[in-house]
A and B are shown apart, each in its own frame.
Chain A
Amino acid sequence: MKILVFVKQVPDTDDVKLDPKTGNIMREGVASKLNPLDANAVEAAIQLKEKYGATVCAISMGPPQAEEVLKKALALGCDEAYLLSDRAFGGADTLATSYTLAMAAKKIGGYDLLLFGRHAVDGDTAQTGPATAAQLGIPQITLASSIDVQDGYVICDRVLEDSVQKVRAKLPALVTVTAEINQPRYPKPINIMKALKKPRFVWNAEDLGADKTRTGIPGSPSSTKEVLEPPKRNADTKYFSGSGEEIAAQIADMLHDEHLI
């Protein structure tokens, strides 16, 4: 079995600064990490490999620094790493991102299972997984909280708004995972050393045979036009004050007037 797992490098903080002109993230000087749900996707891939045997390829599109998350994926047990890096990939929306990731999947070829995080904590669209499945014309299972492979099918539980489903899709298929699926392991120091010896590839647009009008900014129909401060909605807040007990009494009066107590 060949498993492709897609990992994204994200800023290691909620407090990201945006370029006020372009609305893009200012990455300079911000520490980054592996997107948390992608650690779950890697863990799912490694567990399937341990159970059934598999070659696991980790793939990331990003600037050269994204190498770091690929090294981590290798240290966790992935076998090969592919960095998709080209200035022509920059500024991609999810249409251009999914096109680029799908081109890489096609070039690697022979895949059975593609694993994604449900969403990345920075862009947070949760669109890249299903869009990549559409680019490849394969079935998808989003929101998987469990995963197994049997007789050429991937079988997952999905937790929806008010139901839980068990579904199966014929391989090759794409699955996006939630945090419930597993508890990611920590890389062992020895494996961090070994990871450095595993094959790592860096591919640009030409290597992928990608059409540059479909990658990066030219391939992105959506863009950020403006960033703004959220409007203040309620300027006439009524404040309670005094000691803890006094405030509590005023809140209780209010709740009483509202017939809540």
Chain B
Amino acid sequence: MAKSDYKGIWVFAEQQNGKLNGTVLELLAKSQELKEHTGEEISAVLLGKNVSHLADTLFAYGADKVILVENGALENYSARPYEAALTQVAEKYKPSIILYGATSLGRDLAPRLMVSLNTGLTADAIDLGFDKDEVFYQTTPAYGGSILAHIVILEARPQMATVRPMMFEPIEPRVGAKGEIITETVTVEADPDYEVLETAPKQDTGDSIEGAQVVVAGGRGIKEESDLTALKELAELLGGKLAASRPLVDNGWLPHEKQIGQSGAAIKPKYIFNIAISGSVQYQVGMQNSGCIISINHTKGAPIFDISHYGAVADYRSVVPALVEEIKRRKA
């Protein structure tokens, strides 16, 4: 098969318990741009049982078609049945691109498709596009934090990527939009060798940074653990949460759930304070879409200032305690 025989942009419509994952709408939004470039149709591939009601949402958020694969073995996610089902439909329709959210489920499943379809898979892309040679690329941060890499899959098809959550805004829903639903039957059986014994909601420590409207993050420039008290106080005064770049998690001052970035949480608060954080690419991908970015760093030209709306070139030890006092005074 020539690679030009592969056509269509596919978004894996991750759902659990009949609810679409947020990444699906983000990927459908980005696919609009890809479609403008290639003219290829966008299909959402929906696997599950009794999930056809999700098709309308997929059309509203940008899918031209929905490929619906319903089967009892697909009711709850399990790697091997999902691998088998998706492989069968991908081999039949031969899309040129398949995108997955870089969620725990997407990252469990997509590598298996890479093997079954014998193609490439880019991990955790932060952007997608076509370069000057008309080649489809996926952007990922590379070592050191100051470089981005364009990964490409030149010959093999489909070109696949997992894409980091929170990178793109869903489009305004097109109310009442309709498209074609293609119902596919596949041969799959539930995996007799894999079983979910228990599922429990994650215990809410009340301290999660995901969903917080205000975040105050500290970095490697924080001199002593006790200095975090002032950062935490600032966060609490503003109704927000304390967070960190990786070094403060690596050295054990804060738990991993507090880490922002590529190997931590991707967040989009209304306000984020970066205190003594340089702004590596790996950090930025976790927070660059925040509403208002305020940074305090004593090094002029620190990369974090490039994405900041407000900055202060100063020692945090002179600013943060003063700011806490100032806010308390104004609130009093």
Using a CB–CB cutoff of 8 Å, the interface residues on chain A facing chain B are 11, 14-18, 23, 25, 93-95, 98, 119, 122, 124-131, 133-135, 139-140, 142-143, 155, 158-170, 173, 179, 220-230, 232-235, 237-241, 243-245, 247-249, 251-252, 254-256, 258, 260-261
Contact = CB atoms under 8 A, between A and B. Distances in A.
**Which of A230, A232, A244 has most chain B Cβ within 10 Å?**
A230
Contact of A163 (B116, B202, B313): B202
Nearest to A98: B115
B330 A252 contact: yes
Given A126-B107, A224-B151, A256-B330, A134 B135 contact: no
Nearest to B138: A222
B7 interface: no
B202 A251 contact: no
A98 B145 CA distance: 26
B12 to A, nearest CB: 15
B200 A261 contact: no
A163 B76 CA distance: 14
A203 B237 CA distance: 60
Given A238-B310, A244-B314, A225 B151 contact: yes
A99 to B, nearest CB: 8
Interface stretch (B48-56, B61-69, B173-181, B189-197): B189-197
A240 B312 contact: yes
A95 B331 CA distance: 58
Interface string B125-151: 000000100010100001111111111
Contacts of B182: none
B233 interface: no
Interface of B: 79-80, 83, 103-105, 107-112, 114-116, 118-124, 131, 135, 137, 142-156, 191-203, 214, 237-238, 256, 262-263, 271, 280-281, 284, 288, 292-294, 296, 303, 305-315, 317-319, 321-323, 325-327, 330-331
Contacts of A93: 120
Contacts, number: 255
Contacts of B322: 244-245, 247-248
Contacts of B199: 163-166
A160 B325 contact: no
A17 B148 CA distance: 12
**Which of B152, B312, B330 has most chain A Cβ within 10 Å?**
B312
Contacts of A251: 294, 310, 312, 319, 323, 326
A243 B84 CA distance: 63
Contacts of A232: 306-307
A94 B83 CA distance: 17
Contact of B137 (A128, A134, A173, A225): A225
B268 to A, nearest CB: 15
Given A95-B118, A165-B199, A166-B198, A248 B326 contact: yes
A243 B79 contact: no
